[in-house]
Amino acid sequence: MDQNTIDEGKTLGLVAYLTLIGTLIAFFMNREKPNSFTAFHIRQGLGLGLLQLLIGNLVVGYNGEIMISYSFWMFFSVLFLYGLFGAITGKLNKIPLIGDFFQKIFKSIGQ
pLDDT tens digits along 42-66: 999 999 999 999 988 777 766 666 6
What is the tens place of the pLDDT at every residue in 1-40? 899 999 999 999 999 999 899 999 999 999 999 999 999 9
The answer to the question of residue 111 being in a domain is: no
- Residues composing the chain: 111
Domain of residue 89 covers 3-105
List for the chain the helix, strand, coil content (%; round to 5).
Answer: 75, 0, 25
What lies within 8 Å, CB to CB, of 12 at 6+ separation is: 26, 29, 30, 35, 38, 41, 42
Query: What pTM, to 2 d.p., does this model score?
Result: 0.90
* pLDDT the model gives residue 57: 77
What is the mean pLDDT of the segment spanning 75-87? 95
How many domains are contained in the chain?
1
Local confidence band at 70 (pLDDT 50, 70, 90 cut-offs): confident
The answer to the question of residue 110 being in a domain is: no
Packed helices 3-15 and 36-62: angle between N→C axes, nearest 10 degrees: 30
